[in-house]
Amino acid sequence: MSGQYNSNSQPPVAWRYSGNQMKRWRTKANISREELAAAANYSLDTIKSMEQGVRMPTPRALDTADELCGAEGFLSAAKEYLQREKFPARAQDFMEREREAISVWWYEVSLIPGLLQTKEYARALIENRIPPLDEETVEERIAARMERQAILTERKPPVGLSFVLYEAVLRSPLVDAHQLRHLLEVSRLRNVVLQVLPFERAISSALLGPMVLLETRDHERFAFTEGPLASELSADPGAVNRVTQRLSMIRTQALDPDGSARFIERMVDQS
């Protein structure tokens, strides 16, 4: 990932250190910021934000700076340490916990969860982000989202995954027959439970936004809630309990897995 860091907390230390090193090598080599920006095909503001650590230095910027400043591979070597920074900064803690999870319980009110998205759906979301992302960042984000989906089939022992989707998620113009069929395919996996919450069954808790409950190998439990401008990952027992209760209530109102599959199949037939 290489977007601007918009959180109130400090940007990731890997960004700040790599950006600082890029600036130091550039200064030592008597290369102007304008020269580096032109050589790497980035704007001056983008290079400045990378050097300040508020934007992740991209592989292209690091390689260009390494060659231009005669860093002999020291700047390019930073790419390895930035590989984990593929996600928006505010979501990185969640991604770390997701990689450690033995169970995930997910409710979505407006979007297909990232673990269930087709590449085409993911691209439509990421390419239309406001403010827009550069092409390199778009491709990095899409690749990272697809990599996350290894949790569906490649973990041993398998991760228990439960999803409840509000009907509005499926009615989005972005959701085509291919995405619907993909949901059906994933729902057939033995470690996946997929349910649909129809409009007429929605309760007030179902309209508060997406919620995720994760449990790690150490049996730590985390609650994740997300809004358009902020997100929160919490291990506080009170927060975890509140999310657990809301998810439990939503699940009881949703169609059972077989009924949910039939609901999606009808949508495929109508598309």
Domains along the chain? Answer: 13-82 (1.10.260.40), 89-116+150-270 (3.30.870.10)
* pLDDT of res. 250: 97
Report which of 144, 138, 162 is spatially closest to residue 152, judged by C-alpha positions. Answer: 162
Q: Which two tokens stand for residue 62?
A: 């690091």
Q: Which amino acid is at 61?
A: A
Q: Which amino acid is at 32?
A: S
The answer to whether the CB of 120 falls within 8 A of the CB of 62 is: no
Q: What is the pLDDT of residues 220-229, one digit of tens each?
A: 999 999 876 6
Distance of alpha carbon 252 from alpha carbon 107, whole angstroms? 13
Q: What is the pLDDT of residues 168-204, one digit of tens each?
A: 999 999 999 999 999 999 999 999 999 999 999 999 9
Distance from chain centroid for Cα 98: 10
> pTM score, two decimals?
0.71
* pLDDT of res. 88: 60
The fraction of the chain above a pLDDT of 90, given in percent, is 69
* pLDDT of res. 3: 40
* pLDDT of res. 133: 83
Q: Confidence class of residue 4 from pLDDT cuts 50, 70 and 90?
A: very low
Q: What is the pLDDT of residues 93-143, one digit of tens each?
A: 788 789 889 999 999 999 999 999 999 999 999 999 888 888 888 898 899
Q: Which two tokens stand for residue 231?
A: 């997100």
* pLDDT of res. 90: 57
